[in-house]
Amino acid sequence: MKIGILTSGGDCPGLNAVIRGAVRKGVRLFGDEFVGIRDGWRGLLEGDLHPLTTHDVRGISGRGGTILGTSRTHPYSGGGPDAMRQVMKDNGIDGVIAIGGEGTLAGAARLADDEGLPVVGVPKTIDNDLGSTDYTFGFDTAAAIATRSIDALRTTAESHHRCMVVEVMGRHVGWIALHAGMAAGAQAILLPEFPVTMERVVEWVESARDRGRAPIVVVAEGFVPVGVDAEEGVAAIAADGRPRFGGIGDYVAAEVERMTGIETRATILGHLQRGGVPTAYDRVLATRLGLAAVDLIHDASWGYMTSLSGTDIIRVPMADAVESLKAVPKERWDELEALLG
């Protein structure tokens, strides 16, 4: 079979490991031929393709980013499904592996289920907000980068007796803030799923200060304090119409300093969390998902994606995975509250 691979949406560590796993298994076990599709859906719409051999994927599992490039091109732009169908026909492509997050997989599900295109998916996002999979690759690396950053900020905070507010990514969910905050021992961890008042945040900060600690506040970019305008944490609207988060950390820091008198600084980690090399966990998970994606192609399981359930790799409908965001559950917040302050 001839298989196309694309990476779409935001980049994250582990994308190259998926590509490597899929190509090596397809070539070695099935004698497949692969083509790389450049810059996500744009490449499939415009026929921007190149051969992808086992030589091309040598040693890439530890590299961050994606060797194929990525974009946020909408699959229904520039000719949409008809253009893709023609490109696939002209190039003899039997199926496409689409690696992406919520938006990519929603588009891939629609292309497969409504348009009849032979597309399967592999879930990725540093936000860990996709349903129907326990974890997405990229998340572990992002949480690890955030944890190391908080550890570094703690030493300077202690030297100056400051409070440090650290804003992390996650969009509408707080998985990165939860894991990085717990790992780094933050005194306040603010999640979009469980908004609190600034008075509550101040209680946690002052409790830490009174014990001689330099308070650390970790805030997810989508968090909005109770009683504050919801747009406070949204910096801008991106070209694709989605909110571009960033800035709630500055608001929280200013309020903490105003309400407590403690010198407070804010650090927005931003795209640092997307960069760098993937952790061992993400390399293994991404590789396994890529291996399983080849089986989806050969089984003609169009509209399905590979998924992690416990320690097993399974297949689930892409439409189910994007039906709703996977938010931090109440029981995780309940166990976290015992650590705050």
- Of 11, 32, 39, 127, which residue is the catalytic one? 127
Residues of 155-170 as b/e, b for ≥16 C-beta within 10 angstroms? eebeeeebbbbbbbbb
Strand-pairing partners, residue 217, are: 165, 188
Q: Do 198 and 165 touch, CB atoms closer than 8 A? A: no
Return all residues near 280 (Cβ < 8 A) that are at least 6 apart: none
The token pair that represents 123 in the structure block:
């879930």
Q: What is d(CA 7, CA 9) in angstroms, rounded to the nearest whole number?
A: 7
Residues annotated within a binding site for ATP: 10, 72-73, 101-104
For the annotated binding site for substrate, the residues are 125-127, 162, 169-171, 221, 265, 271-274
Residue type, 83: A
Question: Is 127 in the active site?
Answer: yes
Binding positions? 10, 72-73, 101-104, 125-127, 162, 169-171, 221, 265, 271-274
Instruction: Sort strands 33-37 and 49-52 into parallel, antiparallel or unpaired.
Output: antiparallel
- DSSP category for residue 327: P
Place of tokens 């860990």: 128
Q: Which residues are annotated as a binding site for Mg(2+)?
A: 102
What span, in angstroms and rounded, lies between the C-alpha atoms of 143 and 149? 10
Q: Which residues are catalytic?
A: 127
